[in-house]
Amino acid sequence: MSTFCEDRVVIVTGAGRGIGKEYALMLAEHGAKVIVNDLGGARDGEGEDMGPADDVVAEIRDKGGEAIANGANVADFDAARGMIRQAIDTYGRLDALVNNAGILRDRMLVNMKEEEWDAVINVHLKGTFAPAHHAASYWREQSKAGQAIDARLINTTSVSGIYGNAGQTNYGAAKAGIAAFTVIASRELGRYGVTVNCIAPGALTRLTEDLQPGEITDEMREAQSPRWIAPIVTWLASRDSSDVTGRVFESSGRVLAVAEGWHRGPSVEPVQDPTLLGPIVRKLVGDARLNAGMNGLDQDGGLG
């Protein structure tokens, strides 16, 4: 067992499968005590099953690590409070929270049902806010009591949110909101000794496998294995990352990068007459950097 995250107490939500499972396993491998949270639902959020979380805990313990299971619905405000409390009551404190739980209900905007919008926004946005609120409240109380805090809040966005992907207005909007949430929370919580960062992971999991065009080869599976994302999360959860906050990291088996957020582009003095705006706006758009495509590079420019 490595000592890189020795005795760090870390909650990972959605850790029963896929990316979250790899986070939990690597954190435990490096000495962290892990609370493995997973409601155990299907990829659309339906159903509950403690089996996946229990299985990950058993795997960690079989390798000599420390872990406990938690089946809270992260979008339930009181259940999220209980999850934070479980970590503190079991291990005496909380050092890091990794908000990873999520669902998919993809649909083009004109076909999307209200419940498909509400479910995705609830799990991703409220499911990030609720655990983060209770963890941040705990860290603030500890800081005000004179305790030295070296804590981490690690959220999960997506290239669908920060770059945009057709068919995912609900998911993309939630993930873009989480990226903004991260930047804002980093500015609020720094005074208490808490860093806040965000991961935009790229991997083949049960949420994404059937979204891939064509046959998935062994080479693709290796390049998009969830295990490639675990190192940056493990590093961010460690004591070594205390000087990095408010950033979004794109991570996959192909790239590790910092995503750059919105910046003001070309500008002019305000214009009161809307009939004059056509050539002015076209000049601004023509001078501006193109929107990024899903690969994070300039692709999708234009007025449309």
Distance (Å, rounded) from C-alpha 146 to C-alpha 136?
15
Based on the domain organization, do 19 and 120 belong to the same domain? yes
Work out the mean pLDDT of the chain and round it to a whole number: 92
Q: Is 70 helix (H, G, I), strand (E, B) or coil?
A: strand
Based on the domain organization, do 94 and 27 belong to the same domain? yes
State how many domains the chain has: 2
Which residue reads 């692709």 in tokens? 299
Residue 229 lies in a domain: yes
Residue 4 lies in a domain: no
Based on the domain organization, do 169 and 54 belong to the same domain? yes
Q: So what's the pLDDT on residue 216? A: 66
Based on the domain organization, do 153 and 277 belong to the same domain? no
Based on the domain organization, do 250 and 271 belong to the same domain? no
Residue 32, both tokens: 């962290």
Residue 2 lies in a domain: no
Distance (Å, rounded) from C-alpha 50 to C-alpha 294?
34
Domain coverage including residue 177: 9-259
CB neighbourhood size of 205 (10 A): 17
Q: What percent of the chain has pLDDT over 70?
A: 90
| pLDDT tens, residue order, the chain (304 aa) | 789 999 999 999 999 999 999 999 999 999 999 999 999 866 555 667 899 999 999 999 999 999 999 999 999 999 999 999 999 999 999 999 999 999 999 999 999 999 999 999 999 999 999 999 999 999 999 999 999 999 999 999 999 999 999 999 999 999 999 999 999 999 999 999 999 999 999 976 555 555 555 676 676 666 778 999 999 999 999 999 999 999 999 999 989 999 999 999 999 999 999 999 999 999 999 999 999 988 888 775 444 3
Based on the domain organization, do 210 and 276 belong to the same domain? no
Based on the domain organization, do 62 and 177 belong to the same domain? yes
Question: pTM (2 decimals)?
Answer: 0.91
Q: So what's the pLDDT on residue 294? A: 85
Residue 33 lies in a domain: yes
Q: So what's the pLDDT on residue 222? A: 67
Residues assigned a catalytic role: 171
Based on the domain organization, do 173 and 298 belong to the same domain? no
CB neighbourhood size of 66 (10 A): 16
* CA-based nearest residue to 199, from 184, 179, 185, 181: 179
Residue 1 lies in a domain: no
Based on the domain organization, do 152 and 73 belong to the same domain? yes
> Would you mind telling me the total number of residues written for the chain in this entry?
304
- What CATH number does residue 102 fall under? 3.40.50.720
Based on the domain organization, do 189 and 271 belong to the same domain? no
Residue 127 lies in a domain: yes
Note the pLDDT tens digit of each residue in 256-269.
Answer: 999 999 999 999 99
Q: So what's the pLDDT on residue 43? A: 55
Based on the domain organization, do 241 and 272 belong to the same domain? no
Longest dimension (CA), the chain: 71
Residue 280 lies in a domain: yes
Distance (Å, rounded) from C-alpha 97 to C-alpha 27?
12
Based on the domain organization, do 239 and 283 belong to the same domain? no
Residue 93 lies in a domain: yes
Note the pLDDT tens digit of each residue in 162-181.
Answer: 999 999 999 999 999 999 99
Continuous segment of H or E residues that includes residue 34:
strand 33-37
Distance (Å, rounded) from C-alpha 34 to C-alpha 36?
6
Beta strand 256-259 with 248-251: parallel, antiparallel or unpaired?
A: antiparallel
